[in-house]
Amino acid sequence: MKKLKENIIEKLLFSSAIFTILTTLSIIGILLYEAIQFFEEVPLFDFLTDTQWTPLFDDKHFGILPLLSGTLLTSFIAIAIALPIGLSIAVYLNEYANKKFRKIIKPILELLAAVPSVVYGFFALIIVTPALQSFIPGMSGFNSLSAGIVMAIMILPFISSLSEDALFAVPKNLREASYGMGATRFQTVFRVTIPAANSGIIVSVILAISRAIGETMIVAIAAGQQPRLTANPLVPVETISAYIVQVSLGDVPHNSLEYRTIFAAGITLFAFTFLLNNVSFWLRKKYQRKYA
């Protein structure tokens, strides 16, 4: 009797674990199912090479490049700002700050990632853009620069916390050897600790990139709704995620080609984040083994 109960409980717990695999399979299955129907009407070649994205206009073009460039541009700006700052924070907390300060400041930094993204969108549109416009004349009210800057604040804790964990995992004797040779803290960090922790730091950056690429509300609010192939951070663009929101807010009939565009755009986004997440998982396993 006891044994039967134990068995049933184990089966129940097991089915919860299996549920997570079902979720992944459903995501992939649904995206593929709708995307395949989309590609029956729009040639894959056009999707990948056309430089216009105008599915909601009369003159329809289905080139993903403008949405992709918008996504990559806002993410690039965010990473370019968050990486040096986040890494400096990680180094400072690991090598310079005392333990007590580190213990207090880390949860506060992590609060930056807990602020809802719609709030960051408000910051970007209502505060950062007007502030930047006062010394960048000709900057549009919707632009990727403000969205990128604000997104950088949001992803900062990903880079600072995870990089700090990676620095912390480097064995003490490596650092002590460096000090023993008369190196300063700065020299120790940049010549010994960071090189030793590099895969962990790369993981933190990849996860931050993945987060930035998928971020939706900041770009939907502040970056605009004009898909265009540009590297100019001062003009309106549209990201993949913002396009999906735009279509969802309108009333596009189900089972129409326009409806399927959000799945075609979605599978593109998913492919990027899926790749980044797998690479980071693999790297993490590798460095965990290194110092285990």
Partner 1 sequence: MHNTKKNRLIDKSFQFWGIGNTFIGIVLLAIFIGYIVYLGASRLSFDFLSSLPSRFPDKSGIYTAMVGSVWIMFLTAIFAIPIGVSAAIYLEEYQKKNRFANILEINISNLAGVPSIIYGLLGLQVFSRTIGLGGNLLAGALTLSLLILPIIIVATREALKAVPNLIKDASYALGATKWQTIRHQILPAASGGIMTGIILSISRAVGEAAPLIVVGALAYVPFVPTSPMDDFSVLPIQIFNWISRPQAGFIVNAAAGIIVLLVITFSMNLVAILIRNKFEKKMN
Pick 4 or 58: Cβ nearer partner 1: 4
* Cβ proximity of 121 and 218 under 8 Å: yes
Sole binder of partner 1 in the list 65, 105, 234, 257 (CB under 8 A): 105
CA distance 135 to 234: 12
Other CB atoms within a 10 A radius of the CB of residue 38 amount to 22
Give the 3-state secondary structure of residue 178.
Answer: helix
Q: Does 121 bind partner 1 (CB under 8 A)?
A: yes
Residue labelled with tokens 């709704």: 225
Sole binder of partner 1 in the list 4, 41, 45, 114 (CB under 8 A): 114
Pick 51 or 271: Cβ nearer partner 1: 271
CA distance 131 to 236: 17
Closest distance to partner 1 from the beta carbon of 59 (Å): 26
Range in contact with partner 1 (rule: CB under 8 A) among 49-57, 136-144, 166-174, 243-251: 243-251
Q: From 201, 210, 215, 211, select the one nearest 275 (Cα to Cα).
A: 210
CA distance 267 to 286: 28
**Contacting partner 1 within 47-66 (CB under 8 A):** none
Pick 85 or 169: Cβ nearer partner 1: 85
* Cβ proximity of 167 and 87 under 8 Å: no
Q: From 180, 168, 16, 191, select the one nearest 99 (Cα to Cα).
A: 168
Closest distance to partner 1 from the beta carbon of 208 (Å): 11
Q: Does 262 bind partner 1 (CB under 8 A)?
A: yes
Sole binder of partner 1 in the list 44, 56, 80, 127 (CB under 8 A): 127
Range in contact with partner 1 (rule: CB under 8 A) among 48-56, 109-117, 172-180, 229-237: 109-117
Sign of CA pseudo-dihedral 59, 215, 47, 230 = positive
Sole binder of partner 1 in the list 36, 51, 56, 186 (CB under 8 A): 186
Helix then strand then coil, in percent of the chain rounded to 5, is 75, 0, 25
Q: From 273, 235, 258, 210, select the one nearest 53 (Cα to Cα).
A: 258
Sole binder of partner 1 in the list 36, 40, 44, 107 (CB under 8 A): 107
Binding mask 9-38 for partner 1 (x = CB under 8 A): xx-xxx-xx-xxx-xx-xx--xx--x----
Q: By CB under 8 A, how many residues form the interface with partner 1?
A: 80
Pick 51 or 88: Cβ nearer partner 1: 88
CA distance 95 to 86: 14
Range in contact with partner 1 (rule: CB under 8 A) among 135-143, 167-175, 228-236, 276-284: 276-284
Closest distance to partner 1 from the beta carbon of 232 (Å): 23
Sole binder of partner 1 in the list 6, 40, 46, 176 (CB under 8 A): 6
Q: How far is CA 188 from CA 98, 123, 173, 177, in A?
A: 17, 38, 12, 9
CA distance 193 to 195: 6
**Contacting partner 1 within 153-172 (CB under 8 A):** 153, 156
Binding mask 64-103 for partner 1 (x = CB under 8 A): ---------------------x--xx-xxx--xx------
